[in-house]
Structure 1
Amino acid sequence: MHIAQSSPSPRDPDTEVADVLALLCAQIGETVENGLAARRYALTGDRRALAGTLL
């Protein structure tokens, strides 16, 4: 007899990143918007990603 194992449902990597980023921002007292801007800057090196932030 074979017992089927249920596999976890696939998650969107961007959703996982957003969840972790939201927790980090909450811990350091930063807004999620500024956290996302910092992430965009880190990934691209484009300083325009930081426009409108206090970073």
Structure 2
Amino acid sequence: MELYLQGYKESAIAFELKINITTVRYHKRKIQEKFGTNTFIEAVVKAIKSKMIEI
């Protein structure tokens, strides 16, 4: 999430972490599921509100 907040796109995150872009998308989906949201942005908002991440 932190890289997304810094403005990184999926491809840049994959490059930075040296993983496949499908792995980035998989984890993004899992984060959404964990927060029970329909979009990744909603999950980010919930994480910020619950103070799991800071902006």
Bigger fraction of residues in helix: 2
Compare CA radii of gyration and give the structure with the larger one.
1
Same structural fold, with TM-score higher than 0.5 when normalized by the shorter chain: no
